[in-house]
Copies of this chain bind each other. A is one copy, B any other.
Amino acid sequence: MLEQSSHPRSVRAKESVLCATKELLDEGGLGAATVDAISARSGVSKATIYKHWPCRTAIAAEAFGRRMADAIPLPDEGTAIADLTEQVRRVSKFYAGPNGKIFAQLLAASVTDEAAAPYFREFFLDTRRANVAELWNRALARGEVNSAVSAGTATDLLFGPLIFRLMTGHAPLAEQEAEAIATAALHGLLKANSAEDY
């Protein structure tokens, strides 16, 4: 799949490692992606692996991170409400599937593993936050949302609940739940705001 000679060895080694890691993550989660296993499957020695990444978690974050961006494209449905709700729905669906467990394990590992945190942020958060900021700005331009709320706060409000549920497992992540969360976030918890579309 990869022309053997068109890339320098170092690139081929990295690619090979990331590919093997992806497979291992799918087969048995982060626990299965031990450095020895990655080395064995990729054919790249541990010594080389540690020349490219600072720690195990960083490899997994990079291997897995690309997938998430691909799996969750940015919606464009015409209104802020529809776009934001759809995005919450998509992210929730991603979390609810097998990838959700891997994501949770990676986030958990990043808490413990100091060196991995920047990798996690780079490959998971930055892109997604930028995406949501994009949606938010569109909505602001249309005058649909409250300009006193920052894009960051809006992102946290919409997706924090999903992360919370994913990590603790205290509540389900079904589509219906995702919609309830999005609706509540958009309209607010207070009674005055519960006007029409409930």
With A171-B152, A188-B187, A190-B146 as contacts: A109 and B107 at CB distance below 8 Å: no
Docked complex Cα distance between A109 and B110 (Å): 11
**Contact (Cβ within 8 A) B187 A193:** yes
Report B-chain residues with C-beta under 8 Å of the C-beta of A162: 160
- Separation in Å of the A24 CB from the closest CB of chain B? 16
**Contact (Cβ within 8 A) B171 A156:** yes
A-side interface mostly: helix
With A108-B108, A146-B189 as contacts: A180 and B153 at CB distance below 8 Å: yes
Does A191 reach chain B (CB closer than 8 Å)? yes
Q: Which of A13-21, A46-54, A117-125 contacts B (4 or more CB under 8 A)?
A: A117-125
The number of residues on chain A lying at the interface, defined by a beta carbon within 8 Å of a beta carbon of chain B, is 60
Report B-chain residues with C-beta under 8 Å of the C-beta of A144: 190-191
Instruction: Give the B-binding residues of A (Cβ under 8 A).
Output: 30-31, 80-81, 84, 104-105, 107-112, 117, 120-121, 125, 129, 143-150, 152-154, 156-165, 167-171, 177, 180-181, 184-195, 198
